[in-house]
Amino acid sequence: MSVAGQGREMRWTVNGLELAGLSWGEPGGCPLLALHGWLDNAASFAVLGPLLQGCEVVALDLPGQGRSAHRSADASYQIWDDLPEILGVADALGWDSFCLLGHSRGAIISTLLASAFPERVQQLVLLDAVSPQALPQEEFPRQMRRALRDKVALLARQARVFADTGQAIATRTARGLGEDAAALLVPRSLRACAGGQCWTTDARLHGASPVKLSEAQIEAVLQALDMPTLLLLAAGDESSPGRWMQEHARRHIASLQVAEVPGGHHFHMEAQAAEVARHVLEFMTAAQGAAG
């Protein structure tokens, strides 16, 4: 596995919300904004970020995760709720346009942002996700009910206490995350509390979303992506979700490249991170050459 770079700590205040992040590379390099997956944090890119030579990589702790603040009790964590803060960070960095890299839930958020503001996203890189799965219209009332009940329960949930960081890491590895990746991600998502360590993650991120996109809305989002787009998928068998994602993306994204990378869902944090970096850099170089 490539040696991970700790990165430089960064802080912003956007719309009254305190946000944190990490950066790698030299300022003035190709601007690349990186968005992590569900329940992860900016350290998701601690392996890949230093390998993206020539780029200034800035990875966010999305609201309610890592070292960023939680949203207020009346707010929510739908996939589009983070877009104003992401744009605010880009503005604070002075990036009128930039490359966008997202993993998992962060890839879905990246797709939404790029579709709404295509003039700001030079190239789009998606790691093992493209869009949410559509919800049938007839499911809307039941979905809303689940979300409302979840919010009440999760606001009242008591934080789990771990005796030490190792115990918290073990909970992530027990759910299938590799030990090296867990050792990078978990410490950034912990805080000291009475009796040991607690998650910094807002419990509401575990709740159902009250509204989900329809198939027509998802298709409109993908069809609005007019920038060069790279989709990297974890290699799997014919029944894996990657096959569905690939076919769905090919039908609707005009300028799309797709490649598979060995490994699991967090392949960008595993031994093949150098291969992921090679794919990303070759894609960005080709896209910049075509634009020039």
Domains and CATH numbers, the chain: 8-135+212-291 (3.40.50.1820)
The residues, ordered by sequence, that sit 6+ positions from 187 with a Cβ below 8 Å of its Cβ are 43, 165
Cβ atoms < 10 Å from Cβ of 27: 11
**Span 188-200, average pLDDT:** 95
The segment with the largest mean pLDDT, out of 5-14, 56-65, 208-217, is 56-65
Residue 292 confidence class, pLDDT cut points 50, 70, 90: low
pLDDT at res. 1: 34
Res. 223: pLDDT tops 80: yes
pLDDT at res. 200: 96
Residue 263 CB-half CA count within 13 A: 23
pLDDT at res. 112: 98
Strands in 190-193's sheet, in edge-to-edge order, are 161-162, 196-199, 190-193
pLDDT at res. 236: 62
pLDDT tens for residues 82-112?
999 999 999 999 999 999 999 999 999 999 9
pLDDT tens for residues 158-181?
989 999 999 999 999 999 899 999
Q: Please pick, among 2, 23, 104, 209, the residue that the annotation labels catalytic.
A: 104
104 is catalytic: yes
pTM: 0.95
131-135, 260-264, 287-291: lowest mean pLDDT where?
A: 287-291
1-15, 98-112, 120-134, 149-163: lowest mean pLDDT where?
A: 1-15
User: Interhelix angle for 105-116 vs 215-223, to 10°?
Assistant: 70
Res. 3: pLDDT tops 50: no
Q: How far, rounded to the nearest angstrom, does the alpha carbon of residue 92 sit from its chain's CA centroid? A: 20
Residue 241 confidence class, pLDDT cut points 50, 70, 90: low
Closest CA to 42 of 25, 20, 70, 69: 20
